[in-house]
Amino acid sequence: MAPPLRSHGPLLRGALLLATGAQLLGGAVRAAEADDVMRLLDKRVCSNCRLQDADLVMADLRDADLSKAQLQRANLSRAQLDGANLQGADLTFTSLLGASLRGADLRGAQLEGTDLREADLSGALLDVNALARSHWKQAVGVNPSARSYDDLHNAGVEAALQGRASEAEAYFNQAIQKQPDAPLSWLARGISRAEQDKRDLAAADFTYAASLYEQQGKKPVAQQLRKGAEDLKKNPDGKDAGNGWGGQFLQGAAAIFQQLAPLAIKYFAPLAF
Model confidence pLDDT, tens digit, residues 218-245? 888 888 888 888 888 776 555 543 334 4
Q: Nearest-CA neighbor of 51 among 43, 41, 17, 230? A: 41
Helix (H) or strand (E) holding 206: helix 199-215
Residues of the chain with pLDDT under 70: 1-32, 235-273
The domain limits of the chain are 31-146, 149-265
How far is it between the farthest Cα atoms of the chain? 99
pLDDT digits (tens, 9 = 90+) for 86-97: 999 999 999 999
Q: What's domain 31-146's architecture?
A: 3 Solenoid (2.160)
Phi, psi at residue 65, to the nearest 5°? -95, 105
Beta bridge partners of 80: 60, 100
Q: Does domain 149-265 have CATH number 1.20.1050?
A: no
Beta bridge partners of 81: none
Q: How far apart are CA 68 and CA 146, in angstroms?
A: 20
User: What SS3 state is found at 121?
Assistant: coil
Sign of CA dihedral 46, 50, 53, 54: negative
Answer whether 194's CB lies under 8 Å from 203's CB.
Answer: no
Residues 6+ apart with CB under 8 A from 52: 33, 70, 71, 72, 73, 74
Count other C-beta atoms under 10 Å from residue 36's C-beta: 19
Per-residue model confidence (pLDDT) at position 236: 56
Per-residue model confidence (pLDDT) at position 53: 93
- Identity at 176, one-letter amino acid code: I
Per-residue model confidence (pLDDT) at position 252: 53
